[in-house]
């Protein structure tokens, strides 16, 4: 039986460093599950910590000798959906397994991870670019009202954050609109999205490791990372992106670490105000990540402030991977 290891949890918990340790011990390769790190040229703000060596021709970076896939997949002005992520990541995972190695999914983007290990029903719904263009200028409240008319059940299920997020609302409208058209056009039983099962997932035995800490500790780590990224030159990185024509309306530029800087570049806020806002946004993101992952009862949680947590993780993974009780 193929095996797949997942290391997930909120930002600033050391997921990648743990993944590298485990990859060295169990002959593995890492597949990143980070929606911010798929964009080329967006390195400092996303915390890629890329090695000094250039990207290898086969499509991965080497971190301490360990291949890390799914970084720098697209340009900042290119669309990149969870469906595209799942399609590419699955191909990589199958190749890693074929070569007799352990694929290790590492990241904090819960929707990416869910798409890989569980499948997502809406992955097969292609973007409707004409619809998106018609809706992109509408405010969030009008988008939510439209969704409520088309799919009141979906609208009622959205949390407060999603109700204010135009991109997510437009995607929900897109899916609901296609669903209605398909249901009208066909009376066949089967998938709500056209008779084709979109819940394709990896066939493997999965172990999910979750890393966590008390919020106070998480906030401290996040603040230190934000300060470090500011010192490393995220401001210069953003200037370079803008010079290349990547503006604030792009989905990539709405990522944390970038969107907070728009008022600074427009002369509406100081650098200190931007950095503080960035920290608060990262705090909120960490809370949302914890809420998402804690719903999954398969995750084995480890507190990163425990001195022995890495040893405990290694023992659990060894027992699972070898089928023997690790001592």
CA–CA distance, 191 with 285 (Å, rounded to integer): 33
With a cut of 60, say whether residue 145 has pLDDT above it.
yes
pLDDT confidence band for 55 (50 / 70 / 90): confident
Query: Which range, 4-8, 123-127, 178-182, has the best average confidence (pLDDT)?
Result: 4-8
Residue range 258-284: mean pLDDT, rounded: 97
Burial pattern 254-265, b for ≥16 Cβ within 10 A else e, equals: ebbbbbbbbebe
Would you call 28 helix, strand, or coil by DSSP? strand
Query: What are the tens digits of pLDDT across the range 178-235?
Result: 766 655 544 343 433 333 444 467 789 999 999 999 999 999 999 999 999 999 999 9
Band (pLDDT 50/70/90 cuts) for residue 127 is confident
pLDDT of residue 142: 92
| 3 state SS of 325 | coil
Strand order in the sheet with 299-303: 61-63, 66-69, 28-32, 102-106, 3-8, 205-212, 299-303
Neighbours of 116 (CB within 10 A): 26
- What does the pLDDT read at residue 124? 60
pLDDT number for residue 158: 76
Q: Are strands 28-32 and 3-8 parallel, antiparallel or unpaired?
A: unpaired
Shortest CA distance to 84 belongs to which of 24, 127, 148, 140? 127
Residues 6+ apart with CB under 8 A from 241: 41, 42, 76, 253, 258
Give the bridge partners for 5, in sequence order: 104, 207
Query: What pLDDT was estimated at residue 326?
Result: 52
> Contact, 202 vs 4, CB < 8 A?
yes
Distances (CA, A) of 78 to 38, 40, 72, 250: 11, 10, 12, 9
């Amino acid at each position: 039986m193929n095996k797949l290891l997942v290391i997930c949890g909120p930002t600033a918990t050391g997921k990648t460093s743990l993944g590298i340790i485990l990859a060295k011990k169990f002959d593995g390769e890492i597949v990143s599950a980070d929606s911010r790190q798929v964009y080329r040229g967006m390195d400092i703000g996303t915390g890629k910590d890329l090695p000094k060596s250039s990207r290898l021709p086969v499509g991965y970076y080497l971190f301490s000798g360990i291949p890390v896939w799914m970084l720098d997949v697209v340009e900042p002005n290119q669309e990149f959906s969870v469906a595209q992520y799942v399609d590419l990541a699955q191909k990589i995972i199958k190749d890693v397994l074929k070569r007799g190695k352990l694929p290790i999914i590492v990241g904090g983007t819960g929707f990416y991870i869910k798409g890989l290990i569980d499948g997502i029903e809406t992955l097969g719904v292609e973007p409707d670019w004409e619809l998106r263009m018609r809706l992109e200028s509408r405010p969030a409240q009008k988008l939510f009202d439209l969704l409520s008319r088309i799919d009141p059940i979906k609208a009622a299920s959205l949390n407060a954050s999603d109700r204010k997020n135009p991109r997510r609302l437009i995607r929900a409208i897109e899916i609901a609109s296609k669903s209605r058209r398909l249901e009208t056009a066909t009376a066949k039983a089967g998938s709500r999205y056209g008779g084709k099962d979109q819940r394709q997932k990896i066939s493997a035995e999965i172990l999910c490791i979750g890393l966590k800490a008390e919020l106070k500790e998480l906030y401290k780590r996040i603040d230190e990372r934000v300060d470090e990224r500011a010192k490393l030159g995220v401001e210069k990185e953003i200037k370079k992106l803008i010079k290349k024509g990547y503006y604030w309306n792009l989905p990539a530029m709405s990522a944390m670490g970038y969107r907070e800087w728009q008022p600074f570049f427009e002369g509406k806020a100081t650098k200190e105000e931007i950095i503080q806002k960035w920290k608060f946004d990262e705090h909120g993101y960490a809370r949302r990540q914890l809420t998402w992952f804690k719903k999954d009862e398969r995750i084995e949680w480890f507190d990163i402030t425990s001195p022995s947590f890495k040893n405990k993780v290694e023992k659990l993974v060894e027992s699972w991977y070898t089928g023997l009780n690790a001592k």
